[in-house]
Amino acid sequence: MEVIYLPDTTQYHDIYALSGITPGTTLVIHNKSSDVLFVTESAAQPVASSVGHWAVETDETVLMHANGLTLWAYGAVGPLLVQKASERTVTPFGSTDLPHDLYTGPKELYRRIKVDPGQTSFHDGREFRAFVEFSIPANSSLFLQAIVTVDTILYGVTVEVDQGGLRMNTLAGGTVTTPFVTDIPVIRKNTMSIVSQPVYPTTISLKRGGVVTGGTVIDTLRVVAAGSNAQRTTVGSGAFDQRGIGAGTYYWHLQNISNATALGVFSTFWAEIINLGV
């Protein structure tokens, strides 16, 4: 919570600038002065005589939703108690409403509450994907390494084979006998312009080309192409088939179990969890 005072009573003042709170934050403002406070939202500084402001009497509290506009105050010098609505709110206010960004539009009667089956992590830019196209000779293997540094939800692991047969073991830990030196590109799932800012960088490293021995097998799948392509999913085959992965080093061991070269694609996608935000 911040205690602020308006520099004067003749014009509107930027509440974000006075409080030091990041612009675009929903605020709870409590008027502790002996005068009426007027608040409004506008892209530019409004004039003091403008209409469309709200009066906050002494010892009253107002909730001001962040709506892509600057929040302004005028009238009572202060003290004014200002805090983020997401903080532990200790000042009461008399009405409750949903934040504007949870409505489909501004028109009452016609607007609806947004319904989105997707995850917060997608819109927050914390979901990533990767794929590897492979060609594994008979009696040979390919190892993929994943170095996980934060809690992660693994949503999908799929292997598609259009020639040969494959066994894939997922390993936790192990001893690297040949270094992993070739990076596997990590691709952000959400590259829209409205993705959350600042853009979150992945902390997970994927590599290929090394060899590992030992480790604990935590999952196995087998897939064989019989005249056409075949696909198997070890994670993500159902709506709630995600896995929670803690920090550590993991490997996928793709082993050719046929007499021909195994051709296909390995793919995976995941969400990185920060401050319990899913």
> Residue 130: which H helix or E strand, with range?
strand 127-136
Q: How far apart are CA 68 and CA 23, in angstroms?
A: 9
Strand bridging mode 152-163 / 243-245: antiparallel
Residue 246 is encoded by which pair of tokens? 């803690």
Task: Looking at the chain, list the stretches that DSSP marks H as alpha helix, in order from N- to C-terminal side.
Answer: 15-19, 120-123
Please give the Cα distance from 112 to 104 (Å, whole number): 5
The predicted model scores a pTM of 0.64
Contact 190, 197 (CB under 8 A): no
> What does the DSSP assignment read for 61-97?
EEEE---SSEEEEEE--S-EEEEETTS---S--S---
State the pLDDT at residue 143.
Answer: 97
42: exposed, middle or buried (C-beta count within 10 Å: 0-12, 13-18, 19+)? middle
Q: Which of 236, 226, 45, 217 is nearest to 127 (CA)?
A: 236
Q: How far apart are CA 272 and CA 126, in angstroms?
A: 6
Peptide bond into 117 cis (omega under 30): no
The residue among 222, 243, 68, 242 whose CA lies nearest residue 159 is 222
- On whether the CB atoms of residues 102 and 65 are closer than 8 A, the answer is no
The count of residues in the chain is 278
Q: What is the pLDDT of residue 13?
A: 92
- pLDDT at position 197 is 83
Predicted local distance difference test score (pLDDT) of residue 277: 47
* Sequential pLDDT tens for the chain (278 residues): 889 899 998 889 999 999 999 888 888 899 998 899 989 888 888 887 666 688 888 988 888 887 778 999 988 888 999 988 877 665 555 556 666 667 777 665 677 777 666 677 888 889 999 999 999 999 999 999 999 999 999 999 999 999 999 999 999 999 999 999 999 999 999 999 888 888 899 999 999 999 999 999 999 999 888 766 666 666 655 556 788 999 999 999 999 999 999 999 999 999 998 754 45
Q: For residue 127, which of 152, 147, 145 has the smallest C-alpha distance?
A: 152
Q: What's at 139, amino acid-wise?
A: N
- The confidence score (pLDDT) of residue 110 equals 72
Show the domains of the chain with their CATH numbers: 2-91 (2.60.120), 121-272 (2.60.120.380)
127 vs 120: CA distance, rounded Å: 9
